[in-house]
Structure 1
Amino acid sequence: MKILALDTSAKTATAAVVEEDQILCRASVTVNLTHSQTLLPLCDSMLTAAGMTLRDMDLFAVSMGPGSFTGLRIGIGAVKGMAQGLNKPCVGVSTLEALACNYTGLTGVVCAVMDARCQQVYTATFRLQGGYPERLTPDEALAIDELGEKLASLNEPITFVGDGAALCYEALKDRLSAVLSPPQLRLQDAASVGFAAQNFLQNGGQPLSAAELMPQYLRLPQAERELLAKTKK
Structure 2
Amino acid sequence: MKILAIDCSAGAASACVWQDGKVLGECYTNVKLTHSQTLMPMLCGILEYAKVELPQIDVFAVTAGPGSFTGVRIGVASVKGMAFAQGKPCAGVSTLEAMAENLRVLDCTACCVMDARCGQVYNAMFAVKNGVVHRLTPDRALSIEELAQECAGCSTPVVLVGDGAQLCAESAAFAAVDVRLAPEPIRFQRACGAAVCAARAAEAGKLLSAEELLPVYLRPPQAQRSLKRKH
With the length of structure 2 as denominator, give the TM-score of the two structures.
Answer: 0.96
Contact 2:161 2:182 in 1 (8 A): yes
> Aligned equivalents of 2:108 and 2:197: distance in 1?
18
> Aligned equivalents of 1:188 and 1:156: distance in 2?
22
Q: Look up the SS of the partner of 1:210 in the other structure.
A: coil
Instruction: Supply the RMSD in Å over aligned alpha carbons.
Output: 1.1
The answer as to 2:225 corresponding to 1:225 is yes
- 2:164 corresponds to which residue? 164
> Aligned equivalents of 2:114 and 2:175: distance in 1?
20
- 1:20 corresponds to which residue? 20
Contact 1:3 1:19 in 2 (8 A): yes
The answer as to 2:133 corresponding to 1:103 is no
Deviation at 1:15, TM superposition (A): 0.3
Deviation at 1:173, TM superposition (A): 4.3
- 1:47 corresponds to which residue? 47
Gaps of 5+ in 2: none
Give % identity. 48
Which residue identity is paired with 2:145? D
- 1:195 corresponds to which residue? 196
> Aligned equivalents of 2:15 and 2:205: distance in 1?
22
Gaps of 5+ in 1: none
Contact 2:110 2:128 in 1 (8 A): yes
Deviation at 1:100, TM superposition (A): 0.3
- 2:70 corresponds to which residue? 70
Q: Look up the SS of the partner of 2:124 in the other structure.
A: strand
> Aligned equivalents of 1:105 and 1:180: distance in 2?
15
Deviation at 1:119, TM superposition (A): 2.0
104-113 or 18-27, larger mean C-alpha shift: 104-113
- 1:125 corresponds to which residue? 125
Which residue identity is paired with 1:219? R
Ranges of 4+ aligned residues in structure 1 off by more than 4 Å: none
- 1:80 corresponds to which residue? 80
> Aligned equivalents of 2:105 and 2:228: distance in 1?
44
Which residue identity is paired with 1:85? A
What pairs up with 1:130-149 in 2 under 5 angstroms?
Answer: 130-149=130-149
Which residue identity is paired with 1:142? L
Q: Look up the SS of the partner of 2:131 in the other structure.
A: coil
Contact 2:17 2:46 in 1 (8 A): no
Deviation at 1:118, TM superposition (A): 2.0
> Aligned equivalents of 1:44 and 1:163: distance in 2?
26
With the length of structure 1 as denominator, give the TM-score of the two structures.
Answer: 0.96
Contact 2:17 2:50 in 1 (8 A): no
Contact 1:4 1:18 in 2 (8 A): yes
What pairs up with 1:164-183 in 2 under 5 angstroms?
Answer: 164-171=164-171, 172-183=173-184
The answer as to 2:216 corresponding to 1:216 is yes
Q: How many residues of Structure 1 are paired with residues of Structure 2 in the alignment?
A: 230
> Aligned equivalents of 2:76 and 2:157: distance in 1?
34
Contact 2:112 2:161 in 1 (8 A): yes
> Aligned equivalents of 2:132 and 2:86: distance in 1?
30
Deviation at 1:155, TM superposition (A): 3.5
CA distance 1:219–1:107, change in 2 (3 Å): same
Which residue identity is paired with 2:78? A
Which residue identity is paired with 2:130? G
- 2:185 corresponds to which residue? 184
Residues 54-79 of structure 1: CA distance to partner in whole angstroms, max 9, x if unpaired? 11100100001000000000001000
> Aligned equivalents of 2:105 and 2:154: distance in 1?
21
> Aligned equivalents of 2:106 and 2:124: distance in 1?
17
> Aligned equivalents of 2:106 and 2:89: distance in 1?
30
